[in-house]
């Protein structure tokens, strides 16, 4: 008489939640968002199909965790660029370049981060309390004088952030190749773009004026 086949032993992992998020990121970057499911993540992580449900009730909750990891990683990338900048003037440019490079190197993760943030009532927690967004604002504030109002500072931060986001969306455009070659490569091109932001604008009594 054949012995009954025992049920699979529960999978033990030091940090199963992290393993599942990492597996989701691999699937996103190699196969795209349409391939992502809790079952696919379980298979990628080498766990039973039921294991993800101990940490995430559905795919949306898993994607939130993935987005959280993405914002945290972006924050770290900007902090590194900010710390390594040659001087105060170079700091904002370095942050911008780091932002675009992060988006370029993690396209699927970057998309998930923004897809998750778009439908929320407030910015992700990782953008607050000295997170990535605050790093940009603090860098601008450090280069401003006492005449700049809080509203101007917030608008300038949004403008800088949107510039980075827009360049991240367009960095792969073939039309930019001649400029990249003329300037000495992609990094030089990125730095040149950020350094030209606001070159036709000036502040008068704390209010942004344009010629």
**In a shared domain, residues 156 and 101:** yes
Examine the domain organization and report whether 38 and 65 are in the same domain.
no
CATH number at residue 100: 1.10.357.10
Residue 147 is predicted with a pLDDT of: 85
Q: Provide the domain limits for residue 40.
A: 12-57
Same domain, 134 and 193: yes
Q: CATH number of the domain that 47 lies in?
A: 1.10.10.60
The reply to whether 43 and 104 lie within a common domain is: no
6 is a domain residue: no
User: Do residues 73 and 117 both lie within one domain?
Assistant: yes
24 and 98 both lie in a single domain:
no
Whether 206 is covered by a domain: the verdict is no
Q: Mark whether 18 and 84 lie in a shared domain.
A: no
pLDDT computed for residue 174 by the predictor: 95
Judgement on whether residues 71 and 160 belong to the same structural domain of the protein: yes
Whole-number Cα distances in Å, 83 to 20, 80, 139, 141? 32, 5, 11, 16
Torsion angle in degrees (nearest 10) through CA of 176, 177, 179, 182: 170
Helical H runs in the chain?
16-31, 38-45, 59-84, 88-105, 107-118, 132-142, 150-170, 177-183, 186-195
pLDDT along the chain (211 residues), means of 10: 40 73 92 89 91 89 90 93 89 95 93 80 67 89 86 92 94 95 96 82 48 45
β-strands 207-210, 201-204: how paired?
antiparallel
Can you give the pLDDT at residue 6?
35
């Amino acid at each position: 008489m054949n012995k009954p086949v025992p049920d699979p032993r529960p999978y033990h992992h030091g940090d199963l939640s992290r393993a599942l998020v990492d597996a989701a990121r691999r699937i996103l970057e190699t196969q795209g968002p349409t391939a992502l499911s809790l079952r696919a993540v379980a298979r990628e992580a080498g766990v039973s199909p039921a294991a993800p449900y101990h940490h995430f009730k559905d795919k949306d909750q898993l994607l939130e965790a993935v987005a959280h990891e993405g914002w945290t990683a972006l924050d770290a990338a900007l902090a590194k660029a900010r710390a390594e900048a040659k001087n105060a003037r170079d700091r904002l440019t370095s942050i911008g370049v780091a932002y675009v490079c992060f988006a370029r190197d993690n396209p699927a993760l970057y998309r998930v981060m923004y897809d998750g943030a778009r439908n929320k009532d407030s910015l992700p927690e990782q953008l607050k309390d000295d997170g990535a967004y605050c790093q940009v604002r603090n860098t601008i504030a450090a280069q401003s004088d006492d005449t700049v109002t809080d509203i101007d500072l917030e608008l300038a931060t949004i403008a800088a952030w949107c510039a980075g986001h827009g360049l991240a969306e367009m960095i792969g455009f073939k039309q930019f190749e001649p400029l990249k070659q003329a300037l000495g490569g992609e990094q030089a091109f990125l730095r040149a773009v950020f350094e030209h932001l606001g070159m036709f604008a000036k502040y008068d009594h704390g209010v942004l004026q344009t010629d």
